[in-house]
Amino acid sequence: MVRGLGRGPAPFPSRSARWWRTLGAVFVVLVFVPPLLLLVSGSLTEPGQPPPPTPRLVPDPLSVTGYQEAFPLGGLARATLNSAVVAVCAVPLSVLVASWAGFALARASRRVTAVIVAASLLALMAPATALLLPRFVVFRFLGLTDTLVPLIAPALLGASPLYVLIYYLAFRGLPADLYDTCRLSDLTPLQTWWRFALPVVRPVTAGLTALSFILTWSNFLDPLVYVYDRDLFTLPLALRSLAVLDPTNFPVFLAGAVVATVPPVLVFVLAQRWFLHSDDPTGRFR
């Protein structure tokens, strides 16, 4: 139907761009991998001993006692399940709503777009803490405090205006011929979004999904404000309970930190293929 459209430029079409990509990957490895290695190494240290004067890459002796103690002391199993429930509900919903809003904004008139973009930028300037009190009053009035609902509800608004603006820029950059062809084919806006526009911006979707997951998974402030029942604690709150242990039990806290760090790292690694490959395997644009 739209085979006449080109696939667009490759994400890294030139040798210079590939060189910068490699340089960026090396930078990420050098900055983030050593702390992760030290984190894992510290979690494998025997609890009950004073912290070593210098970091050790390979502790002697190796011990998994920290992991065995971290789960019952911090309730990590239940907290991991709660964090997973929040992430599974909030992340897809926030990305979906943000993509709808961004697509609608890209197809709106210039005057409407200018007003909404300006309002979104103003909303981004407002500190998140300024919204805590009104949001708390609303959720308290609805009887939703001490539940996981306040942690998921922001996804109904796309989680952040930033997500909407990123999708707006991505959809606005698509060829006008794409929208004209879909319109001539009598496709509804929803069909155009799902069948043609969204597949083209999959790297953007992957990036926002990874970002949304990491921010949701590591969210500490909202659970601290809205959740009081220990059975509803998410991983950041569970780690807070382990952080009060004495210094000789630092491997227990580091073991909990490893458990909390593994999912975001896996999501980031899995998203790499979408970051670096934006070709269309469906063949719609070939």
- pLDDT tens readout for residues 55-92: 777 777 788 888 888 888 888 899 999 999 999 999 99
Of 174-178, 212-216, 254-258, the poorest mean pLDDT is in 174-178
d(CA 202, CA 285): 14
d(CA 83, CA 215): 11
What pLDDT shows up at residue 275?
Answer: 63
- pLDDT tens readout for residues 270-279: 877 666 554 4
- pLDDT tens readout for residues 199-231: 888 888 988 999 999 999 999 989 999 999 888
d(CA 33, CA 119): 39
What pLDDT shows up at residue 4?
Answer: 40
State yes or no: cis peptide before 127, omega within 30 of 0.
no
Report field, pTM of the whole predicted structure over 0.75: yes
d(CA 286, CA 279): 10
| pLDDT over 60 at 28, yes or no | yes
Of 38-52, 101-115, 217-231, the poorest mean pLDDT is in 38-52
d(CA 78, CA 67): 15
Of 74-88, 161-175, 231-245, 270-284, the poorest mean pLDDT is in 270-284
